[in-house]
Structure 1
Amino acid sequence: MSKGRIFAAVLFAALLSAPLIYRATQARREGSANRYAAKATAAYGFYFTECANASGIHFRHQAPKLDPKLNHIMEQIASMGAAVSVVDFDRDGWPDFYVTTSGEHARNALYRNMHDGTFRDVAAEVGLADINSPESGVSMGAVWGDYDNDGYDDVLIYKWGRPELYHNDGGKHFTRVTETAGLPPWVNANTAIWFDYDDDGKLDLFLGGYYPEDVNLWRLKTTKIMPESFEYAQNGGRKYLFHNLGGGRFEEVSAKLGIQSRRWALAAVAADFRDTGYPDLFIANDYGVSELYLNEKGKYFREAGKEAGVGYAPKSGMTASVGDILNQGRYGIFVTNISEEGVLVQGNNLWMPAPGASADKIKFENVANAMGVELGGWSFGAQFGDLNNDGYLDLYQVNGNVSLDRDRSYWYDYSKVAGGNRAIISDAANWPPLKGRSLSGYQQKRVWINDGAGQFKEVAQMVGVRDRFDGRSVALADFDNNGALDAVVANQRGPVLFYRNHVDPANKWIELELTGRSSNRSAIGADARVFWNGQEQRQEVSGGSGFCAQNQRRLHFGLGRTSRVDRVEIHWPSGRAQTILSPELDKIHRVEEPE
């Protein structure tokens, strides 16, 4: 037989066998995946599968191209802007989500939940896609709240540039109302939250600046735009508090109410830490200490960070999340910071309320090290949620700063800047060129599960979270309405990831979809306590938390292997109280505030 015929015969046989080999390979992979899933479920009660592409989610963050004077450190300066926020914008009962990009003329996306495990981007159809330009700035994040109480969530898109407020027109379209609302022309913001600080039934807005508001990062007048210190910087952007006047108008009242700070804000969260009926405000600042503003009955905010113990250790605060971690009916606060082995260990903070707290006196203790959540890399967004429905809040955290050359690090040069004096640090021209080097890049994410006894165990790789993108923002929501919290992750210069959660069905759950009447329609600030098997867990409806993120507002309670819930107690911002006896398990309960 000639060589040509032999080759043809071999090729023909190979072509015939290729499908069989492929199917066999796929079968081995599926078998391995099934064994892994069964092992993870048996050990931890849940596992994740990353399925963005299969779910119709095709989105990649683009970074902005700022003033050429910053080219030597562009990747470090332009290292934020990937954000995710959850909303049911069309009120069909299924959570949707919005993701931001920061490239000039790049489009944001609004993924509508199609009820079948897939999503469709409708941002262009409803008017929320074209947000970014050098003239108006680029997106850093978005928060949703029904500021006019018409039943549909509106959206504030905060930017390095002009903040944009869009009114939701019945879930079909969004109308830009920025100027009529009275928002400022330019704020280099990295955080915003909705909350009703005076309990008048109308949502107010907090907006936190990072760079000063007179800095245009595309047209620099000077390169002296950086923090004056790595520990005590107070030359950043201002804080804004907008009081909702009704009729679509807001009044800026920060100075009048005592919120005057120039720290570099990266995250904020509101919660009633003292059981006064009014939400307090916690701000995590970069290059300095955190701030805790205690709400004095909606009339004034008193900064009490040092007094409360959270404002004495300067770090690089990058997230602010709240949870009843030990099921004690009291909120702890998780703040992410930086840790790099052999270089810098600021460490995350987990602030737990000390015994004996009252409306007049509140104290927090940092238990991050003792509870096992201190070391998270260059940490960004984090959220509390019961991922395995065992009755205790777990913690999902993303990380990684700038991932470029794996073999070359910028840390040595970065530390030289950090040790300089004010004149050196504050001028971007003095910062050494990045030259393609990484700065805490390619980091493994953290999924900490709560054992209910004061310890968290890191299980990310074991439960399927193995990506090493530069994570920024994470949001949790039950996208399938099946009682399992899924995770959406927005990565800087990377893809949006969708982690679908598979939970042991033996663990029970309930969810509470709250709607205000006398209180704000979004029920932001409503406080719910669930009592079962001698346990209690408390959650509050939030108008934004984490880093540039917002979870679903629907409250999710895992219950373990209980057979019943004794009762649910709801305290509304209006002051009304409501009790629900023996709610059905494994069900979403839609609850309206009583008249």
Structure 2
Amino acid sequence: MRRATAATAAFLLLLGVPAPERGRAQPAAPPPWEVSLVDVASRAGLVRPSVYGGEDTKRFIIETNGAGAAFLDYDNDGWLDALVLSGTRLKEGARVDATFPPARAPVSRLYRNRRDRTFEDVTRSAGIDKVGWASGVCAGDYDSDGSTDLYVTYYGQNVLLRNRGGRFEDVTAAARLASGRTRWGSGCSFIDHDRDGDLDLFVANYLVFDLAAAQEPGQGANCHWKGIPVNCGPKGLPTDTNFFYRNNGDGTFTDVSQASGISRVTGRYPMTAAAADFDGDGWTDLYVAADSTAAILYRNNRDGTFTDVAVESGAAYSEDGNPQAGMGVAVGDYNTDGILDLFKTHFADDVPALYRGLGRMLFEDAATGAGLAVQNRHVQWGAGMPDLDNDGRPDLFYVTGNVYPEVERRLPQYPHRGPRVVFRNVDGARFEDVTASSGPALSAAHSSRGAAFGDFDNDGDVDVLVMNMNEPPSLLRNDYRGGNAWVAVALEGTTSNRSALGATVLVTSGGRTQARAVLSQSSYYSHDDLRLHFGLGKAERIDAVEVRWPSGHRQTFADVPVRRVVRIKEGTGVISGE
């Protein structure tokens, strides 16, 4: 027996596999995965499709990128409502938008939560009725009236939607945010960059696109993929400028793009924008994924200006130093060390990036060591770090969908529609693909883009809202069967902006500390529940909750109850536990 063991060890070494050390205990197998994601969109009433370009062919890049989604409580009743953005379609054979009967106009859809796991379509009554090529949504209470407002980017003209207590009003012109020209708005984020308590606004522009002059598929050097004629770009198309608007505190904004340093970063194709305090200095920074170019990390210089430090911070390129097609961005703390990490999704035949935060605005790409460096045939889009099983270790979720439907006909290994993917966090360092055991909704094929995360049915686990191209959305209800504890933290700023955007919350329980940030936008062009959800595993008490407010103030609370939403008001403390 001893001889056989030695022979086996020698054989393993020949293969480059180290033999197990005698006497060393092997890692314990993780407990059973008890998460099942069920698509309940149809029975919940989310039935209208998001129209976005052609279904079987896409002549121009404007038809490919799709749009985001949002979980928000627009009517302040404590239940998450759902916003699903939509684009439109070109007239067949033409370079103008198609026309639709009013009843079938492809508008973005707002669904009010009825509190019984169903939704009511309130799109018209709520004032969400613009037809156009919507891209991204970011949310925040910019006028500090207690209701969440929306900014939606478009190819064309972006819009600022002020929440008037349940009905939205387009105040773009009155707020001095109207553009004098057609632009392709992409990522956006409300951010209080100067800590004055008012939310300012960052807006990215993807690229300069002229539909009338655009090349047809296959006509130019950047109009082929794997030898197949496809729509052209983004390479070869002109880049545009990012904008930054300072909130004047009176309902209007001032363009400070140049003075702030935001517009000085050029030569990128920016997409999703996430604003958080990435260096822990109490001032909110900005991370922007970029397509086919280096990502941007705007460090807040604390004087009203920003500097791009993505390259020196280690969050601009892949592990081997190459630019990637950055689409979606998730912000979380996967290794529970109290420092924010980043997860970025990319194009087909590439791997995602997992930027582990080292502190002081330094990152390292840990994707390979974490088991994520597996190339796949799908473009990855909306992503998040939800703790799906409430075990205290954030998992990874992302959606997929290729951009060239024509390719599948010649290369079936690159299907237009793809799965949703779940990686279970095994031990804070490694991930395991559990897609196949996370419910049939994961393997259902869709061409998806945005994904928003939140607990829409208030049952203590995180659900997912997904924007699907030319289909109704998916509402993935998390039917978690285990008994792990959880807490959700809802913040209200007083000195800080009322939405507490940019705040970081650290929860210490069971020997580990988790960090999460309140975000205006993340995933892919999407907005998550403002309540921060923390899984707690078997712990039935929380040692400490620390709130790092965007104003610079810090508060710590002990003995916070579990299995409920805890509401904390800046300067006051815990005001309720529901």
Q: 1:135-154 to 2 correspondence within 5 Å?
A: 137-154=132-149
Query: Are the structure 2 counterparts of residues 401 and 582 from structure 1 closer, same or farther at C-alpha, using a change threshold of 3 Å?
Result: same
Q: Contact 1:278/1:298 (CA < 8 Å) preserved in 2?
A: no
Q: Contact 2:408/2:414 (CA < 8 Å) preserved in 1?
A: no
Confirm or deny that 1:399 pairs with 2:400: yes
- Partner residue, 2:154: 159
The worse-fitting range, judged by mean Cα deviation, of 400-409 and 177-186 is 400-409
Describe the superposition over 1:336-385 as per-residue Cα deviations: whole angstroms up to 9, x where unpaired: 11233xxxxx321111124xx43xxx432111122122335311111111
- Partner residue, 2:47: 58
Q: Contact 1:286/1:318 (CA < 8 Å) preserved in 2?
A: yes
- Partner residue, 1:120: 120
- Partner residue, 2:503: 526
Confirm or deny that 1:257 pairs with 2:260: yes
- Partner residue, 2:185: 189
For 1:176 and 1:231, the matched residues in 2 are separated by 31
For 1:333 and 1:74, the matched residues in 2 are separated by 33
- Partner residue, 1:500: 477
The residue type equivalent to 2:287 in the other structure is F
Query: Are the structure 2 counterparts of residues 281 and 406 from structure 1 closer, same or farther at C-alpha, using a change threshold of 3 Å?
Result: closer
Matched residue count: 506
For 1:534 and 1:503, the matched residues in 2 are separated by 24
For 2:447 and 2:535, the matched residues in 1 are separated by 30
The residue type equivalent to 1:546 in the other structure is S
For 1:476 and 1:72, the matched residues in 2 are separated by 30
Q: Contact 2:61/2:233 (CA < 8 Å) preserved in 1?
A: no
For 1:73 and 1:107, the matched residues in 2 are separated by 20
Q: Contact 1:211/1:225 (CA < 8 Å) preserved in 2?
A: no
- Partner residue, 2:169: 175
For 2:553 and 2:236, the matched residues in 1 are separated by 42
1:511 offset after TM fit, Å? 0.5
Secondary structure of the 2:124 match is helix
For 1:209 and 1:472, the matched residues in 2 are separated by 18
- Partner residue, 2:379: 378
The residue type equivalent to 1:461 in the other structure is A
Secondary structure of the 2:566 match is strand
For 1:349 and 1:561, the matched residues in 2 are separated by 30
Would you identify which runs of 4 or more consecutive aligned residues in structure 1 move more than 3 Å? 219-234, 402-407, 437-440
1:141 offset after TM fit, Å? 2.4
For 2:485 and 2:292, the matched residues in 1 are separated by 42
Query: Are the structure 2 counterparts of residues 77 and 232 from structure 1 closer, same or farther at C-alpha, using a change threshold of 3 Å?
Result: closer
Q: Contact 1:449/1:456 (CA < 8 Å) preserved in 2?
A: yes
The residue type equivalent to 1:126 in the other structure is A
Query: Are the structure 2 counterparts of residues 225 and 564 from structure 1 closer, same or farther at C-alpha, using a change threshold of 3 Å?
Result: farther
For 1:233 and 1:350, the matched residues in 2 are separated by 28
Query: Are the structure 2 counterparts of residues 209 and 577 from structure 1 closer, same or farther at C-alpha, using a change threshold of 3 Å?
Result: same
Secondary structure of the 1:490 match is strand
Secondary structure of the 2:565 match is strand
1:308 offset after TM fit, Å? 1.2
1:493 offset after TM fit, Å? 1.9
For 1:178 and 1:225, the matched residues in 2 are separated by 37
1:438 offset after TM fit, Å? 9.0
Secondary structure of the 1:116 match is coil
Taking every aligned residue pair, what percent have the same amino acid on both sides? 31
For 2:472 and 2:491, the matched residues in 1 are separated by 32
Secondary structure of the 2:260 match is coil
- Greater fraction of residues in helix: 1
1:231 offset after TM fit, Å? 9.8
Query: Are the structure 2 counterparts of residues 141 and 295 from structure 1 closer, same or farther at C-alpha, using a change threshold of 3 Å?
Result: same
Q: 1:29-428 to 2 correspondence within 5 Å?
A: 43-64=32-53, 73-74=58-59, 77-103=62-88, 105-128=105-128, 130-132=129-131, 137-171=132-166, 173-183=167-177, 184-185=179-180, 186-212=182-208, 215-217=209-211, 219-220=212-213, 235-259=238-262, 260=264, 261-312=266-317, 313-340=322-349, 346-354=350-358, 357-358=359-360, 362-375=361-374, 377-402=378-403, 404=405, 408-409=409-410
Q: Contact 2:207/2:237 (CA < 8 Å) preserved in 1?
A: no
TM-score (norm 1): 0.80
The worse-fitting range, judged by mean Cα deviation, of 262-271 and 558-567 is 262-271
**Higher Cα Rg: structure 1 or 2?**
1
Query: Are the structure 2 counterparts of residues 227 and 526 from structure 1 closer, same or farther at C-alpha, using a change threshold of 3 Å?
Result: farther
Query: Are the structure 2 counterparts of residues 454 and 156 from structure 1 closer, same or farther at C-alpha, using a change threshold of 3 Å?
Result: same
Query: Are the structure 2 counterparts of residues 291 and 404 from structure 1 closer, same or farther at C-alpha, using a change threshold of 3 Å?
Result: closer
Describe the superposition over 1:482-509 as per-residue Cα deviations: whole angstroms up to 9, x where unpaired: 1110111111122201111112342000
Q: Contact 2:140/2:520 (CA < 8 Å) preserved in 1?
A: yes
The worse-fitting range, judged by mean Cα deviation, of 437-446 and 94-103 is 437-446
Describe the superposition over 1:452-491 as per-residue Cα deviations: whole angstroms up to 9, x where unpaired: 2311111122111122111111111001111110111111
Confirm or deny that 1:448 pairs with 2:451: no
For 1:146 and 1:566, the matched residues in 2 are separated by 31
Q: 1:468-507 to 2 correspondence within 5 Å?
A: 468-507=445-484
For 1:526 and 1:225, the matched residues in 2 are separated by 46
Show structure 1 runs of 5+ residues with no match: 1-40, 341-345, 411-436
Q: Contact 1:388/1:558 (CA < 8 Å) preserved in 2?
A: yes
1:216 offset after TM fit, Å? 4.2
Secondary structure of the 1:391 match is coil
Q: Contact 2:58/2:404 (CA < 8 Å) preserved in 1?
A: no
The residue type equivalent to 2:245 in the other structure is F
Query: Are the structure 2 counterparts of residues 72 and 454 from structure 1 closer, same or farther at C-alpha, using a change threshold of 3 Å?
Result: closer
Describe the superposition over 1:151-199 as per-residue Cα deviations: whole angstroms up to 9, x where unpaired: 001111110110011111112x111111111112432012111111111
For 2:244 and 2:77, the matched residues in 1 are separated by 32
For 1:210 and 1:439, the matched residues in 2 are separated by 25
1:310 offset after TM fit, Å? 2.2
Query: Are the structure 2 counterparts of residues 562 and 161 from structure 1 closer, same or farther at C-alpha, using a change threshold of 3 Å?
Result: same
Secondary structure of the 1:408 match is helix
Q: Contact 2:277/2:503 (CA < 8 Å) preserved in 1?
A: no
For 2:393 and 2:531, the matched residues in 1 are separated by 17
Query: Are the structure 2 counterparts of residues 290 and 409 from structure 1 closer, same or farther at C-alpha, using a change threshold of 3 Å?
Result: farther
Of 448, 454, 461, 2:436 maps to 461
Q: Contact 2:65/2:403 (CA < 8 Å) preserved in 1?
A: no
Secondary structure of the 1:339 match is coil
Q: Contact 1:166/1:174 (CA < 8 Å) preserved in 2?
A: yes
For 1:227 and 1:473, the matched residues in 2 are separated by 26
Q: Contact 1:231/1:315 (CA < 8 Å) preserved in 2?
A: no
The worse-fitting range, judged by mean Cα deviation, of 519-528 and 398-407 is 398-407
For 2:57 and 2:509, the matched residues in 1 are separated by 57
For 1:470 and 1:584, the matched residues in 2 are separated by 41
1:555 offset after TM fit, Å? 0.4
Q: Contact 2:450/2:526 (CA < 8 Å) preserved in 1?
A: yes
For 1:506 and 1:240, the matched residues in 2 are separated by 46
Describe the superposition over 1:258-317 as per-residue Cα deviations: whole angstroms up to 9, x where unpaired: 122241111111111111111111111112111111110142111112211222421101
Query: Are the structure 2 counterparts of residues 176 and 407 from structure 1 closer, same or farther at C-alpha, using a change threshold of 3 Å?
Result: closer
1:236 offset after TM fit, Å? 1.6
